Each structure stands twice: as C-alpha cells, then as structure tokens.
Amino acid sequence: MNAQASGARKKSDAMALLIRLKQCRVLFLMMAPGIILLLLLHYWPMIGLLLSFKEFSFSGNFLSGNWVGLKNFKEAFSDPIFLNALKNTFTINLWKLLFGFPLPIIFALMLNELPGKAYKRGAQAVSFLPYFVSWVVLTSIFTSVLSIEGPVNKVIELLGGTATVLLANSRTIVLIIVTTAIWQVLGWNSIIYTAALAGVDPQLYEAAVLDGAGKLRQIWNVSLPSITGVIVIMLILDMGTIINSGFEQIFNMMNPVIYDKVEIIDTYVYKKGIQQMNYPYATAVGLFKSVVSLSFVLAANWAAGKIAGKENTLL
C-alpha cells in the first residue's frame, strides 16, 4: 500500500512539474541561452581538471596520459616559489578584505545622506567610472604619478622625505596594490548597498527623528540593520575571493625588483602553464586554489548561519 501511494505521489509530482514547465515555457526559453553558456564556459571545462592527476603529451589526447596521482600537488607544496606566492596572495587579499569590504558600505551610507538626487547620481557615476578602465591604462597612470619625478614623490620631498620609485619599492608596493585595487572597485561595489538602502522604509527614519535620533543614530539603528542581510551575503561571497588577488593588476604592476612581494598564485599559474607549458602542474595549482575558495565560502556561510541566522545565508 505504501509503495502504491509513493508511486502515485511521484507520478503526481512529475505531472505537476510538466504542467509548470508548460506554463513557464517562455521564461525557460529566455533562460536557455544563459544556461547553455554557463554549461559550456563553466562546467564543460571542468573535465580538464583531470589533467592535474595525469601526464600530458602534445602528441595525444590531453586526457590520455598516465595517472600520476598527487604528484603535481606534492611538487607544488615543495616549491618555495609557490609557497611564497601563496603567502603573498593571502597577505594582499586579507588587507583588501579588511579595508575594501567596509569602505563601499560607508560610501553607500554617505551617498544615501546626500540631499539631492542629482548630487547622489553624479557622485556615484564618478565613483564607479574607474571600474570600467583597464588595468593597463591605470598602471600607466600610476607609473607616471608614482615615478621619481611624479607628484607623490614631490610631496614626499616637500615633507622632508627621500624620493623613490614607489612601484619598485618592496616596502610600499603591497600598500599601493591594495589601495589602488580598493579605489578601482569602491563605487562599483557600493551599488548593491545603495540599492538596498533605497528600499528602506522612509517611515523608519521619520520614527527615528521623532525619537530624537540624529544622523549617526539613524544610520546605526535604521540603515545598517535594514541592510544586514545584504552585508552578510556580500561578505560570504568576498570570502571566496580571498585567494584571488586579481591577475590583471598584479601582472601589469609587476617588475623584477618586487617579484618576491607581489608574486601571487594567478601569476605563478600563468608562468607555469602558459610560459613553461607545464599544464598538469598549473591545473593542479588552479584546482587547489578553487578548492580553497570553495572552503572559505562554505565556512563563511556556516558561520553566518550560526551568527546571523539561516535567512542571511546563501544555502
């Protein structure tokens, strides 16, 4: 009897699904191109991850080589250059997370307090303009600004310091990389928080004013609690980038003098995979990077669920 009831329930669920698909066929057709691109560009290439456990030969299929197990991973963790790149990656990204995560929230709160819509839109447009400029162009600009004859060194000399090529100084390069990276994405990252603040009920601010709350109290007691869910989700997503320092920026700013300070996993993989054509080794390092990113996201999601509640998590 239970088997019959279970079979009938499954048949009913299947019919309901078919009816739902038929009703929403236009929406599914609209989604189809995006789903196909997602499968082709993000899931199909994952077959290549098997290369990290195999040998590679240009004479045959890239998956036809012999299995080597964890050889490439062991080789990576015995390479001091990789370990240094791993350390640099975490160092740069921890600084980015520490300062780069709260700044867009603060900027969005400041924009939200501007009196006129025209000023708000103008400030926001100017702030996210750098996001659309290539790092090739930005690096050229920073090279001129931070050169020995640039305006920054002129200010340093006026203050009694000694001029130096800041992009070739191992003591300042990490600070420059972190600062410029945050500056480039500040306005763009603030868009989500600005949109969330736009959805806050104005009556909450009116009630706060009637209770005698000033601007700071309104921000602390109304604005921030209203966008807590968005902040937590963005933090979870940012934890996935803690091992991704941004290849374009580092690659364009890198020079031989500061290799030991700015060599990151992305540039290391580029050298091993593209320049030296050691594809299995580069694939193994890339797989390690992806696993670490996923682990951070899952750990942050679990912690957010414990602290802020399941409603503020991704899963």
Q: Which of 130, 97, 124 lies closest to 108, judged by CA?
A: 124
Token pair for 221 = 């007691």
Long-range contacts of 28-33 (CB under 8 A, 24+ apart): none
Can you state the percent helix, strand and coil of the chain, rounding each to 5?
80, 0, 20
293-308 pLDDT per residue, tens: 989 989 988 888 888 7
Is residue 167 within 8 Å of 255, Cβ to Cβ?
A: yes
Class of domain 51-312: mainly alpha
The CB-side HSE value for 57 (13 A sphere, CA atoms) comes to 7
- Sole residue written with tokens 């990252």: 189
pLDDT tens digits for 158-180? 888 888 888 888 888 999 999 99
Q: What is the DSSP letter of 252?
A: H
Q: Per residue of the chain (315 residues), what is the pLDDT tens digit? A: 456 656 667 677 778 878 887 888 888 888 889 999 999 988 888 888 888 888 877 776 666 778 888 899 999 999 999 999 999 999 999 999 999 999 999 999 988 888 777 888 888 888 888 999 999 999 999 988 888 888 888 888 888 888 888 888 888 899 999 999 999 999 888 989 988 888 888 888 888 888 888 888 888 888 888 888 889 989 988 888 888 878 899 998 888 888 888 899 999 999 998 888 888 899 999 999 989 998 998 998 888 888 877 777 777
